[in-house]
Amino acid sequence: MSRRLLIAGNWKMNLDSRGATALARAVKHEIVQRKLDRDVMLAPPYPYLDTVARALEGTPILLAGQDLSRHESGAFTGEVSAGMLIDLGCHGTLVGHSERREHGGDTDDTVRAKLERAIRSGLSAVLCVGESESVRETGAAASMAFVEGQLAAALAGLTEEECAKALTIAYEPVWAIGTGKTASTSDAAAMHAHLRASVANLYSEALASRLRILYGGSVNAANAADILGASEIDGVLVGGASLKIESFGTIYRAGAA
Ligand code: PEP
């Protein structure tokens, strides 16, 4: 089954209001001009969601949060709810990014709860999974078992219909994020195939064959065409290289006919 590619940019904690607006306008210009048969998603920092939403108005570019609260509302100082993201025009959100797991204390259980909250509130979700360097050093089989465990824990409360409607998976080996190291395309494709088989085991072949699985980890203008050329890889989640229109634009166009 052919799956439409998704090119997603995670701006992390970068830019200011002016820079975010300028970058959003530049991405809009690129997408409106090229009109490629691919989806684009941008995840700016929370304070710039509104300004970026305005800059993207009238385009098919999907706006996303970088995270969300597991709670619906209430006394949770510093947190941002699914409803707030929707109110600001978000289509989706990242969930379980390794930087939230590492610095924000997100456990598998938190990730499961956030994923359910996002999807049941009407957001689409990009669920991030990936092994650390220390797990990777123990071998490919151990890495696959680890990532499969993260996936199963995150999906534990979701129905097949919910996954079909709103879920995308991003395989992001932690050792490749922001390091300039990337998984080889063949290693990434093998992990994607394993994740797809895991989804088939957990739910069904039908869901597995339609679910998008992105790769993330030091994707840049030079390696994007090779990565996007692998049939198991349905798009990319890009951090550092999404902050400049030159590199993000090149990634958006990479490998397109
Ligand atoms: C990310 O933030 O999800 C990511 C993959 O970052 P980078 O592209 O900078 O490695």
CB of 218 within 6 A of ligand 1: the answer is yes
Going by pLDDT thresholds of 50, 70 and 90, the confidence category of residue 93 is: very high
Give the DSSP letter string of 126-172. EEEE---HHHHTT-HHHHHHHHHHHHHHHHTT--HHHHHHHEEEEE-
Name the residue with the closest Cα to ligand 1, atom 7.
Answer: 239
Distance set, CA 112 to CA 140, 145, 207, 219 (Å): 25, 18, 19, 26
Distance set, CA 177 to CA 45, 97, 197, 210, 220 (Å): 18, 10, 24, 26, 12
Token pair of 114 as six digits: 């956030």
Q: What is the pLDDT of residue 202?
A: 98
Strand positions, DSSP E, the chain:
5-10, 38-43, 62-65, 92-95, 124-129, 167-171, 212-216, 235-238
74 C-alpha vs ligand 1 centroid, how far in Å? 31
> Ligand 1 atom closest to Cα of 10?
2
CB of 173 within 6 A of ligand 1: the answer is no
Name the residue with the closest Cα to ligand 1, atom 3.
Answer: 239
Residue 201 has pLDDT above 90, yes or no: yes
Q: What is the pLDDT of residue 2?
A: 80
CB of 178 within 6 A of ligand 1: the answer is yes
CB of 182 within 6 A of ligand 1: the answer is no
pLDDT in tens, 206-251: 999 999 999 999 999 999 999 999 999 999 999 999 999 999 999 9
CB of 216 within 6 A of ligand 1: the answer is yes
- Using a 10 angstrom Cβ sphere, with 0-12 exposed, 13-18 middle and 19 or more buried, the burial of residue 35 is exposed
Q: What is the pLDDT of residue 1?
A: 66
- Is residue 117 within a helix (H) or strand (E), and if so which, with residue range? helix 108-121
Please state whether the predicted TM-score (pTM) of the whole model is above 0.85: yes
CATH number of the domain located at residue range(s) 5-253 in this protein: 3.20.20.70
> Ligand 1 atom closest to Cα of 179?
10
Residue 191 has pLDDT above 80, yes or no: yes
pLDDT in tens, 95-138: 999 999 999 999 999 999 999 999 999 999 999 999 999 999 99
